[in-house]
Amino acid sequence: MLLLLFIITVAAQDNNPASAVTEKSLRSIDGKYAALTSNIDKQSAELLKRIQRQEQRLKEKLAAKDSAKAAQLFAGKSTSYQQLRDKLNAPLDKTIKDPLKEYIPSLDSLSTATQFLQKIPGISPDKLQQLNQLNDRLQVLQNKMQSADEIQAFIKEREQFLKEQLSQYGLGKQLLGINKTAYYYSQQVASYQELINDRKKMEQRLIAAVREIPAFKTFWQKNSILSRLFPLPDNYNTPMALAGLQTTSQISSLIQQRIGSSLPTAGGVGGGIPQQYIEQAQAQLSQLKEKVGQLGGTSGDMIMPDFQPKKRNNKSILQNLEYGIDMQRQGAGNLLPICTEICLTTGYKGFSWLRFGGGIAYRLGLGKGWNHIALTNEGASIRSYCDIKTTSSANSTISKLFGDIWVTAGYEKSYLQSFKSLQELHDNVNVWRNACLAGITKRYPIGKKEGRISFLYDFMANKQIPRAGSAFKFRVGYTL
């Protein structure tokens, strides 16, 4: 909400956008990127430590078979790993203006926006210090991403070298261990890149608001990394800028001279690129795109797995929490009026096949019917649940017919009496009832959210005296 207020205010005050920047907003953005930087740092340091341990075990295995070869292959490699660690821990070098070999648009946009805001007249010293700190944070993050790319490139090259040298020694298991460690690290880095480039973030909306300021366009063309990579000519957007450039017809004529003009072309009559070559290129690009998408990679130094990778969830515990609401209706009986039970749930979804969590429910009494409508407090309950997915493959018969079906089990404690205050729930602990539930849950997408329908049976319902309601439960839920 703080970032949203910040964005709205910036958009409304184009004359002096820096005056709308709150200190809490800047702290929130800075904290997010500080946590991301710390995670990348820890993951990279842990990778180097694990790979070096695996190489040491590999060296010991090889030494038992060929000590001279072991000494040759692993001589001085501890120094290489130490150099990578030193570079990872090195302080920010501001003399390097563009440290990244791989351009990250979101970091460039946010960094340029903070530099622009720093130059707005009238900004307070405190906010100027925070903007400087945020800009430094972004540069540190760029350095960490650069180090991660260099580590991946080093491990990829090292792994390929060891494969070539040790193919005849029967050390495939040890080499596979190195490959797994390196591959899952590359997946983690790819997830960080995806998080940085997530255009749904509030920071991206902030950048969009700043871009509406006319002066920012000129500032961007002179100060962004992209403008330094591809500088615009001084006579840009004038007829003089087109002087010396080849025309489409000239390029088509050159292609025809090189590969012939007898084949049908995509440009129709008059020349163009032969259709056959375009179709072949498109097919190859589609295959490469599909392969990269399956592996989840985005970097040119992506490490190819020598095994069937498991799908890993790279989100934090907080990011894997899901919040939802369930509703259950119960008809009127001798003891209870018509009730609607509303439950707020919190669960963990860090596994593709498992969900678990709990919730707190409130029973709202609606009276005995249309002629006796009355809103009353008719009870409360505490729930726990565990869902296990039954359809592991999207191509399975069950999945095609019914979608995602989950086996559900849960334990609940319920207070099924009218009450006037929460103190009554606490004082009458002995009347809380136990419930042991099992059944199935159907989960289905609703836009970007998820709906669920559960059919459950209470195995302890018949043991309750007096019995309240049916042992079968029908619940409809929605993930917030």
Does the structure show a pLDDT above 80 at 327?
Answer: yes
Question: Quick check: 273 and 259 in contact, CB under 8 A?
Answer: no
What is the spatial distance between Cα 321 and Cα 90, in angstroms, rounded to a whole number?
Answer: 35
Phi then psi for residue 314, to 5 deg, are -100, 10
What is the spatial distance between Cα 264 and Cα 269, in angstroms, rounded to a whole number?
Answer: 9
What is the spatial distance between Cα 314 and Cα 184, in angstroms, rounded to a whole number?
Answer: 10
Q: Give the N- to C-terminal CA distance of the chain in Å, as an integer.
A: 17
Phi then psi for residue 288, to 5 deg, are -65, -40
pLDDT for residue 205: 61
Strand partners of residue 321: 348
pLDDT for residue 13: 45
Helices within 260-417 (DSSP H only) = 275-295, 397-402
Identify the band that residue 197 occupies on the pLDDT scale cut at 50, 70 and 90: confident
Average pLDDT across the chain, whole number: 78
- Lowest-confidence pick of 90-99, 201-210, 434-443: 201-210
What is the spatial distance between Cα 140 and Cα 109, in angstroms, rounded to a whole number?
Answer: 15
pLDDT for residue 258: 66
Question: Quick check: 358 and 345 in contact, CB under 8 A?
Answer: yes
Average pLDDT, integer, range 356-374: 83
Rounded alpha-carbon distances, angstroms, from residue 403 to 79, 96, 377: 53, 53, 37
pLDDT for residue 438: 96
DSSP state of 274: B
Does the structure show a pLDDT above 60 at 95?
Answer: yes
Q: For residue range 257-313, what is the model confidence (pLDDT) as tens digits?
A: 766 555 454 444 444 555 666 677 677 766 665 555 544 444 445 677 776 776 666
Strand partners of residue 354: 388
pTM greater than 0.85 (yes/no): no
What is the spatial distance between Cα 72 and Cα 77, in angstroms, rounded to a whole number?
Answer: 10
DSSP state of 174: H
pLDDT for residue 241: 61
The beta strand positions in 158-216, using DSSP E, are none
pLDDT for residue 244: 65
Q: What would the two tokens of residue 66 be?
A: 């060929």
Residue among 133, 135, 127 nearest 223 (CA): 135
Strand partners of residue 360: 344, 382
- Lowest-confidence pick of 32-36, 169-173, 197-201: 197-201
Does the structure show a pLDDT above 70 at 314?
Answer: no
Residue 93, SS3? coil
% the chain with pLDDT above 70: 71
C-alpha angle with apex 56: 150 to 180, nearest 5 degrees? 55
- Give the length of the chain: 480
